[in-house]
Amino acid sequence: MLFYLIGGWIFTFKFSLEDAVKELRPQLCYQCMKCSSGCTAAKVVNNYRPHEIVALVKAGYSDELINSDVIWACSVCLKCVEYCPQRVSPFEVVMALRNESIARGRVPPKSFVEMAKSVLKVGHIQEPMYIMSKDFEEVSRMELGLPEMPKPKDFEKFKQHVLLVGFEKLKEVIRV
Amino acid sequence: MKFLLYLGCTTATKQYGYELSLRATLPLLGVELEHPKDMNCCGVPMKGISKFYPYYACARIMALAESQGLDIIAPCNGCHLNLTETIYKLKLNPLLMSAVNELLKEEGLKYTGKAMVYHPVEILHDKIGIEKITSSIKRKLPEIPVSSHPGCHLIRPTEFPRPETRDGPLKLDRLIEAIGLKARDYPEKYECCGAAILPYSPEAAIKTAAFRIKRALAVGSKAITSLCPYCIDMLDGKQDAAKTITGDQNISIPALYYTQLLGLALGLDEKELGMSLNMSPVEVLLEEVKV
Amino acid sequence: MNKPRLAIIPGANCAGCDYSLLDLGEKVIEVLMAVDIAYWPTAADLKLEDLEKLPDGSIDLVLFEGAVNNDETEEMAKLARRKAKNLIAFGACACFGGIPGLANVASKDGILRKAYIKSLSTVNQQGTIPCKLTRLDGIELTIPEFLESVKSLDQVVNVDYYLPGCPPPLKLVAEALTAALSGKLPPKGTVFGSMKSVCDDCKRIREDKKITEIKRYHQLIPDPERCLFEQGIICMGPATRGGCDAVCPTVNVPCRGCMGPTPGSQDQGARMLSALSSVIGLEVETGVSDEEVRKLILQVKDPLGTFYRYSLPKSIMRRVWGVRE
Amino acid sequence: MVEDEEVRIGVYICHCGLNIASVVDVKKAAEEVSKVPNVVVAKDYQFMCSQPGQNIIIEDIKQHRLNRVVVAACSPRMHEPTFQKAVERGGLNPYLFEMANIREHCSWVHEKEKVAATEKAIKLVKAAIAKARLLKPLKREKVNVIPRALVIGGGIAGIRASLDIANAGFEVHLVETRPSIGGNMARLDKTFPTLDCSQCILTPLMVEVSRHPNVTLHTYTDVVNIDGSVGNFKVKLLKKPRYVDESKCTGCGTCITKCPWTAPSEFELGLGKRKAIYFEFPQAVPLIPVIDPEHCMYFQKGTCRACEKFCPTKAIDFNQKPEEIELEVGAIILATGYSLYDVAKAMPEYGYRKYKDVITGLELERLVSATGPTKGHIVRPSDGKEPKKVAIILCVGSRDEKHLRFCCRFGCVAGIKHAYYIVSHIPDAEVYICYRDIRTFGKGYEEFYERIRNYENIKFIRGSPMEILQDADGSLYFDVFDANTNRIVTLRPDLVVLETGIVPHPTFKEVAKILKCAVGPDGFALELHPKLRPTETSVDGVFLAGAVQGPKDIPDTVAQAGAAASSVIALMSKGYVETIPYVSSINEDLCSGCGICQPLCAYDAISLVKKEDGKQVAKVDIGKCKGCGVCAAACPSGAAQQLGFNDEQILAMVRTLTR
């Protein structure tokens, strides 16, 4: 739940899974399998089936998904968004499930944690790296003559806001 | 034409070749790039963690551009989509707009919807134009078949205005032909490179990239080009890994940024274009191009 | 003393109606010669006591100008009714509430606070608001108190005739005065003006009413021959009583509705709104998304001031209390 | 006149058995309303609609000299006509009657609040009384019906409807935009589920309709304009030039064999070729060729004239001009049919038109047809080889929020039939049907499905592919998730058949615009009631037959054509129609001719006319007016009023209810 103060009014945004998913109307899905037929991730990740995820949400088995890692397999290619004949958009359903899983204090796969940590540390998903060139030379931005990577100026404020818009729960879990 | 260069995370932290070639080529075509002092991540990979973080992050980026009175070039497909989506959704939803601005106010920023966002493909094709490019190049590159990989987010979703559509010829293909190369279609060019599966399962992601490379090789392409740091990261940087995982030693194709090819046509040195940072066998292509 | 007695009594008005009388030009002298002025604060040096002294029903013709907005104007309206043989609601404000009637969008408190405390140019740290009775150095001062809502004259007292317009068109003023002075007044309740709408007077060519975009007056130079409404400018002509000779549309200015609703309609603004909603861009009604409809609606800037500029107190919409200040 | 009389109202409150009386205190209600001014008598009765109930009204009218009647009972939709007739029998104008609905609007919805329901019922009755006071007598008018019908569209629906009307003894004009009648059904090879030869059952009807003495055939003709209203439509047709004199041509076909120029055939959907002078198809009716000026060398370059030279009857006439035909008809049947959804443009992911070996179901019908471009051999359009592996994809564009929301109603069975075509022509072929749901609802369809399921080489895959791709060697491939086996299958078919969705034929849009008849959100014609009045349109005297109303298979199309024809016959046998009295009327003293109402009228009933003084006013054609009230709502000056529902009457009701 989030509070915003706008012109003296307090607005409350509740992000419960039910609300998020209702908007996406998974109940309209008639299981045409188009999403699973074209899904990038489904072809390489064995148990990732967008139509099945929508069906499970529709049938009320969201908890199963929230507690499993499979929802983090989506490749964000947006093909299901584009071609779903009922505008259900399995991608958005998966994102809502991911959000809910974070809200319930579950830890996402390690790489996501790393990225989130980095956002809270430098404002980006990772810090500038040393890159190995073809000649086995390690180069950095500076050595290539590139200007320094910009960071949020008022970092404390930025971090505070990031936590406010949804990283709060994650912070407790990953203990930054 | 002056734009604020919003690099995003991938380009700025490891895909230095893209940044170098952008900074080298665009000014030659009359585009001035301003380097921002203050920037943050656009939030694409964080969408799963919080629905609202990308709105805040993108609104912050747009507000920063607005405070400088500039439009943004976002060279990353993901950033470009997320920024466009945020602009679109904030304009539709005044409540969201005011909520986001309430946060920005504390940082002395405000987004009103004035600043716009462009992808390099739009800048090159729509703003600069094919004609200007053909007249500016120093030498035409030989007619080598090259496949373009526009990347998912450049064409999808059609819900928001996207730079490319799969209905007609791609702008990227026209740009390839503009510098003398031959655009070669391959069946999976509208597919995903698999970058976003990387955090979940690197193996699955690399397999996906390997599929694409194999298809491009099958139609006889001599190189793959794109304007997305994620796509090139997968198609260029992961070729060795793909060989190991799939056991197919034939996976080897030069993969590089279109701006790097453009730079060659504009007579720039390969070093300036950061081509030594490409992991794929670009030297094979370079040799053919130089002849 | 055989001359008919005439009184002109002001309510909440801007005195524009008075000027319209003077627009009679030299004829005004004839009129003045023909009548005995009983009260006309703008032009004659007569006091209120003079009027009060006259017996009830002794004034042949009373023109009441302006809306009724405070207890003083309410008192004046009642006085006018008592003294008058024939009472004419003179001008748009007296007839329908007029411009002062737009105050009805806010509450009395809201208006006072806005005017005396919250407006940007006001410095009023104590937050003083005018009130009926003030004691100052032992002296009691009274000022009129605002009514909760602004009313038209006929919402306070019975009215015999209506002469709308802002200001009333000269032609109709002359018609009314001539009728009154010659004793040939029409049946009570008559509205001076035409039975048809302004469009009947308007000479512009009307072809096909299909509006896809509403334009504000500064956004285009209208074609002087064609109907303004068809060009996308909201012209209140179709919903407004004629009789003014369509002077505004004739000089390329859209009608703003000062003559009030036509005889066949109950509510001028609602009529215009339904007419507009019928012709605007919704030709193919299916397939127009809510978003597109919203966009169309948002094109109308200041809907209240457009559709109810002169007739808010008389509209069938009742005011809502305690809305935004 | 009633207006001068004192208003004397009789109020009758119905118990409706216990439907009303168990909730509303009817005795109290009757007592309450009897106190209302002008109410002379107020009664309650068990069943007002019964004969004794109606007799109470009739007798009271005489006894109490009533001149207005109010009945509080069920919905006016149910019994208003009943009571209006009773009032008429009592000697009053039937429109001096008003009904208050205290069943649906009160007792049925307030079962548990009896006291409040009684109060509400009283209010509703009082409102009806308030309106009744202001009622004025209205009258209906009779309009004669011209005993001649126009049928637009010469497909199976149009042919069937024309024959039915003609057989009843009325004159019919059948208009078809193509050079031959026959429509889409003529393209089919076989019809499911019986696998009858489509041509064999259609051509006899085509010949019959062309020879019927009561039918006039207008082929290669467009409808340009339709004016007037039910009973009296004035129709303007435009006959396109064939450049062949119909009276001289014998249909020998010599011109066609001699013509040296070719073009893609429209009838064969571009799969085959035709000459520049051509028959639409070999069994065309009428069997008269047409010259296509776009591909004819004489029209393009001024030379050739081979057809003219060889024609034995000298029927070629290069100087033919478009010909206007004017008709007066009493009723119209729309049978414009359907065309396929433009999948090439709307769904590029399936690669139709981009890849040669992706075809539509209708194209397969032509490939299978013995008279088709391949003489009945199923071959791949790309290389002319026999396909050994065929994928049939159902629901292409249909049941899709982004394309067509509705089910095309024949795609499933057509797909099954197409699978049968393939295995019967190429016994060793493998067929994959990718389906979402198989809908075999028609008579005998499920049995047909069962029969096809028996084939070992026809495999059903439950799942839709997202896209079809072409490999480097030109072969097609796609992935499809099969829910039955729960795995992703990669198919490499030689031929892909898309069972596409359908849309109304483009001519319908123009005809609908001319007629101003209602069009549904899906673009098909909107019927008056989906269940009870499926053949009628919003325009009186215009009826629907076949796929113009919505997707249909052949049995349904023929059934509806028969229904539409019988509606037309009923109208013409009666000989006249009565107009509804609740029409709009314009008070000319108030109308200033602003013209807002005119473009709004959905039935084209309002026109602007100039009066003697040069001022324009609106005028209502009561023959066309349906009493929808849009003009009355839009009229900014209150000049337009709907008779029987004018502002005064409605506001009197509102005032009573809000008091």
Examine the pLDDT at D2 and tell me if it is beyond 90.
Answer: no
Tokens of B5: 């260069």
Number of domains comprising chain B: 2
pLDDT digits 0-9 by tens, B168-189: 789 999 999 999 999 999 999 8
Judgement on whether residues B171 and B285 belong to the same structural domain of the protein = yes
Question: Is residue B232 in a domain?
Answer: yes
Which pLDDT value is given to residue C283? 53
Residue range D495-505: average pLDDT?
A: 96
Question: Is residue B172 in a domain?
Answer: yes
Instruction: Give the CATH fold of the D2-133 domain.
Output: Rossmann fold (3.40.50)
Tokens of A82: 């584009």
Examine the pLDDT at C44 and tell me if it is beyond 90.
Answer: no
| Average pLDDT along chain B | 91
SS3 B96: helix
pLDDT grade, residue D599 (50/70/90)? confident
Phi, psi (degrees; rounded to nearest 5) at D375? 55, 35
Say which residue the tokens 């003489």 belong to.
D375
Query: Percentage of residues in chain D with pLDDT exceeding 90?
Result: 81
Examine the pLDDT at B198 and tell me if it is beyond 80.
Answer: yes
- CATH at B225: 3.40.50.11810
Judgement on whether residues B197 and B283 belong to the same structural domain of the protein = yes
Query: Percentage of residues in chain D with pLDDT exceeding 70?
Result: 99
pLDDT digits 0-9 by tens, B55-104: 999 999 999 999 999 999 999 999 999 999 999 988 888 888 888 888 89
**Which residue in chain A has the smallest CA separation from B207?**
A44
Question: Is residue B123 in a domain?
Answer: no
Tokens of D196: 């009858």
Which pLDDT value is given to residue C210? 74
Judgement on whether residues B284 and B218 belong to the same structural domain of the protein = yes
Candidates D340, D337, D523, D506; CA nearest to D414 is D340
Which pLDDT value is given to residue C285? 53
Examine the pLDDT at D274 and tell me if it is beyond 80.
Answer: yes
Candidates B277, B255, B276, B273; CA nearest to B264 is B273
Examine the pLDDT at C209 and tell me if it is beyond 80.
Answer: no
pLDDT digits 0-9 by tens, C116-175: 988 888 888 888 888 888 888 889 889 999 888 899 999 999 999 999 999 999 889 888
CB contact residues (below 8 A), chain B span 232-261, against chain A: none
Which pLDDT value is given to residue C109? 85
pLDDT grade, residue B288 (50/70/90)? confident
Name chain D contacts of C271, Cβ cutoff 8 Å: 635-638
| Domains delineated in chain C | 5-99+149-181 (3.40.50.700), 108-147 (no CATH), 198-307 (no CATH)
Examine the pLDDT at D302 and tell me if it is beyond 50.
Answer: yes
Residues 6+ apart with CB under 8 A from B224: B146, B147, B148, B149, B212, B213, B216, B235, B253, B254, B255, B256
Lowest-confidence segment of A89-103, B102-116, D592-606 by average pLDDT: D592-606
Could you confirm whether domain D584-643 is CATH 3.30.70.20?
A: yes
Examine the pLDDT at B279 and tell me if it is beyond 80.
Answer: yes
Which pLDDT value is given to residue D1? 42
Distance CA C5, CA B179 (A): 96
Question: Is residue B124 in a domain?
Answer: no
Contact between residue B174 and residue B125 where contact means Cβ atoms under 8 Å apart: yes
pLDDT digits 0-9 by tens, A23-50: 778 889 999 999 999 999 999 998 999 9
Examine the pLDDT at D82 and tell me if it is beyond 50.
Answer: yes
| ipTM tops the 0.90 cut | no
Cβ-in-10-Å burial (0-12, 13-18, 19+) of C218 comes to exposed
CATH of domain D148-240+322-337+505-574: 3.50.50.60
Residue range B137-143: average pLDDT?
A: 91
- CATH at B102: 1.20.1050.140
| In chain A, where the domains are located | 16-106, 107-176
Which residues partner with D244 through β-bridges?
D316
Name chain B contacts of A11, Cβ cutoff 8 Å: 95, 99
CB atoms within 10 A of CB C146: 18
Question: Is residue B215 in a domain?
Answer: yes
Which pLDDT value is given to residue C93? 94
Contact of C215 with chain D, judged by CB distance below 8 Å, is answered with: no
D2-133 and D344-503 share one fold: no
Distance CA C131, CA C118 (A): 17
Candidates D388, D393, D337; CA nearest to D361 is D393
| Average pLDDT along chain D | 93
Phi, psi (degrees; rounded to nearest 5) at D340? -75, 150
CB contact residues (below 8 A), chain D span 456-515, against chain A: 462-467, 478-483, 488
- Final residue of a structural domain among B118, B147, B173: B118
Out of B167, B218, B220, whose CB is closest to D348? B167
Residue range A80-95: average pLDDT?
A: 92
pLDDT grade, residue A6 (50/70/90)? very low
Which pLDDT value is given to residue C282? 56
Please indicate whether, in this complex, the C-beta atoms of D636 and C272 are within 8 angstroms of each other.
yes
Touching partners of D (3+ C-beta pairs < 8 Å): A, B, C
- Final residue of a structural domain among B73, B91, B118: B118
Report angle CA D555, D559, D560 to the nearest 5 degrees. Answer: 120
pLDDT digits 0-9 by tens, B141-162: 999 999 999 999 999 898 888 9
Say which residue the tokens 């000779």 belong to.
C245
Candidates C114, C17, C106, C7; CA nearest to C67 is C17
Which pLDDT value is given to residue C164? 94
Report angle CA A11, A14, A20 to the nearest 5 degrees. Answer: 130
Phi, psi (degrees; rounded to nearest 5) at B92? -75, -30
Query: Percentage of residues in chain A with pLDDT exceeding 70?
Result: 86
User: B133-170: string of b/e by CB count within 10 Å (b at 16+)?
Assistant: beebbeeebeebbbbbbbbbbbbbbeeeebbbebeeeb
pLDDT digits 0-9 by tens, C2-39: 788 999 999 999 988 988 888 888 888 888 888 889 99
Which pLDDT value is given to residue C183? 81
Q: How far is D630 from chain B (nearest CA, A)?
A: 32
Q: Is the dihedral of CA C114, C118, C122, C126 positive or negative?
A: positive
Please indicate whether, in this complex, the C-beta atoms of A45 and B200 are within 8 angstroms of each other.
yes
Which pLDDT value is given to residue A8? 41
Which pLDDT value is given to residue C88? 94
Structural domain D344-503, CATH architecture: 3-Layer(bba) Sandwich (3.50)
Q: How far is B68 from chain A (nearest CA, A)?
A: 15
Contact of B21 with chain A, judged by CB distance below 8 Å, is answered with: no
Contact of C237 with chain D, judged by CB distance below 8 Å, is answered with: yes
Q: What amino acid is encoded at A165 in this protein? A: V
Name the residue range of residue B87's domain: 2-118
Please indicate whether, in this complex, the C-beta atoms of B187 and D470 are within 8 angstroms of each other.
yes
pLDDT grade, residue C180 (50/70/90)? confident
Examine the pLDDT at D461 and tell me if it is beyond 80.
Answer: yes
- Final residue of a structural domain among B70, B96, B118: B118
Residue range D285-306: average pLDDT?
A: 92
Which pLDDT value is given to residue D148? 96
